[in-house]
Chains A and B, each alone.
Chain A
Amino acid sequence: MIVSIASGKGGTGKTSVAVNMALSIGNVQLLDCDVEEPNVHLFLHPDINRVEPVYILVPVVNEELCDHCGKCAEFCRYNAIFVSSERVLIFPELCHSCGGCVLVCPRKVITEEKHRIGTLKSGSAGDLELVYGELEIGEPMPVPVIKEVKRQIKKDRNVILDSPPGTSCPVIETVRGSDFCILVTEPTPFGLHDLKIMVQVLDGMRTPFGVVVNRAGIGDEKVYEYCREKNIPILLEIPYQRKIAEFYSRGVAFSLEMPEWKEKFQTLFNEIRELVSK
């Protein structure tokens, strides 16, 4: 089973839920798909046994044979190629690696070379397997790195995917193909507003989901009212407690220090399994 954890609004507790759930159940492969700001490893201190670069393919033009016809630049939707009467300029950080320029070049003088945009790291913490990616600073496109992280999925394990915040392409790439998505929110107007956007996204993707309310007790009741109205199951509430916030600040998974939570995260996972098998 593949369970992804998303939120819309940042900082609602996605990583906390992902890590604590992963530590409470067995046979887990945890993938941190927030490749812009990966944090899971800060809580797990894994032994990293594999580090690999992530590349995309970007065009290279053989200028000796190029007649500067400009067909490649005309085709490119991402403005990654600029052709003047004497020169061709390529902007690798704008390239989406679609390969179209290679196909449209009438003289066949465009080839592709690797351009590094990130790093893939895998390792383990106890019997938990961890995979995460890191986008290079200044590179705009996290999606190819997320795809590489997801290529490591082992379907026979309990796969947990920690998503980046937001509601656009990196989140969709993460959630795509999951059996279930947990939406972590907080009971505030910001939490609710961004939760509603994520609900629309998941409805569009036809991915089943439920809500975990973090920092319960702060804010107001509107998240609960919305979930009731929309028939969205609230799977777990994590109360706002100074103690939990302090463990988090030190990079400690709170279920390790507060063992009663281990059981709650096990129940959460079992409940999801039941919802998925229905």
Chain B
Amino acid sequence: MKQLTVLSGKGGTGKTTLTASVAVLAKKAILADCDVDAPDLHILLHPEIMRTQEFRGSKLAIINDAKCTECGLCREKCRFDAITEDIKVDPIACEGCGVCTVVCPVKAITLTERISGHAYISKTKYGFMAHAMLSPGETNSGKLVTLVRQNAKMLAEKENSDLVIIDGSPGIGCPVIASVTGADIGLVVTEPTMSGIHDLKRVLQLLKHFNVRPFVCINMYDVNRDNTEKILSFCKENSIEIAGRIPFNHQVTEAMVNERTIIEYSPESNVAKEIESIWKKILPSLKSESSF
């Protein structure tokens, strides 16, 4: 089984638009939306949920007021500032580490599990999909990403599919690391802006750090051709393959408003054609050894 992760560093460069389009072209790949705190892939792919799992990703300290003597030791030892002046737990700041339960001299504090999100296994027109929704404001998105990837892997084995396509989140921190580790290809979607270039360089370093083979796709390349040239020459200097250059086109937003991929909405558009060419370019690297 091969795994392709779509990522970007900078947000809003077109990860989900590209992932959904590639999902349509791949036919019967397993899809995984690993942007668990702001997932959008379902808007374009309309999954029908078959199974829902509770995600218990973190714990929360609970103080038994009847036992508490308000000595303040928990507040002193908590490194997350999660105990307020009047010795209450701030659930937003609490990491569930358990230090307070250890230091409390009267054993008034316990940890409880909290449901910090849900994971789903669904069916779409273009293959099965693993996705999730972190509860608003919850922590531990990396763990939920790992659960989504496990679900995707399980689906791939069950369905005898040899490709998992992963939609990542912006940034380079814990959920992104959880989305790229062990992937075969990291397809980085960037844009020809100063921010796009800056963030591209950091995300490429991340892929190198985790030994994932990079491909770069420049979205809306014609918005600033000078910057596009800069990206192209940077990639050439560093021997990074370019998957393609997608032009700016209003139809991309129209397709999104109609909750469809650009491939379905406007198959003859220059954007759809370029995405097809990108897919052809990376496909040979995603063939499993077993299928040769």
A residues with CB within 8 A of B = 7-12, 15, 34, 36-37, 39, 42-43, 75, 77-78, 96-100, 103-104, 135, 137-142, 164-170, 172, 176, 188-190, 193-194, 197-198, 200-201, 204-205, 218-220, 245-246, 248-251
Contacts and interface: CB of A to CB of B under 8 A. Distances in A.
A165 B102 contact: no
Contacts of B227: 249-250
Contact of B171 (A8, A42, A165): A165
B202 interface: yes
Contact of A99 (B99, B137, B138, B256): B99
Contacts of B102: 75, 100, 103-104
Nearest to B141: A168
B155 to A, nearest CB: 24
Contacts of A142: 171, 173-174
Interface in B189-206: 191-196, 198-199, 202, 205-206
A181 B37 CA distance: 18
A12 B250 contact: no
Interface in B102-149: 102-103, 134, 136-142
B224 interface: yes
Interface of B: 8-13, 16, 37-38, 40, 43, 59, 77, 79-80, 92-93, 95-99, 102-103, 134, 136-142, 169-177, 191-196, 198-199, 202, 205-206, 209-210, 223-224, 227, 250, 253, 256-257, 259
Contact of B95 (A98, A104, A137, A168): A98
B19 to A, nearest CB: 12
B253 A37 contact: no
Nearest to A218: B253
The 8 closest A-B pairs by CB, nearest first: A10-B11, A11-B12, A251-B194, A98-B97, A140-B174, A36-B171, A249-B224, A165-B11
Contacts of B37: 166-168, 197
A197 B103 CA distance: 36
B223 A9 contact: no
A250 B40 contact: no
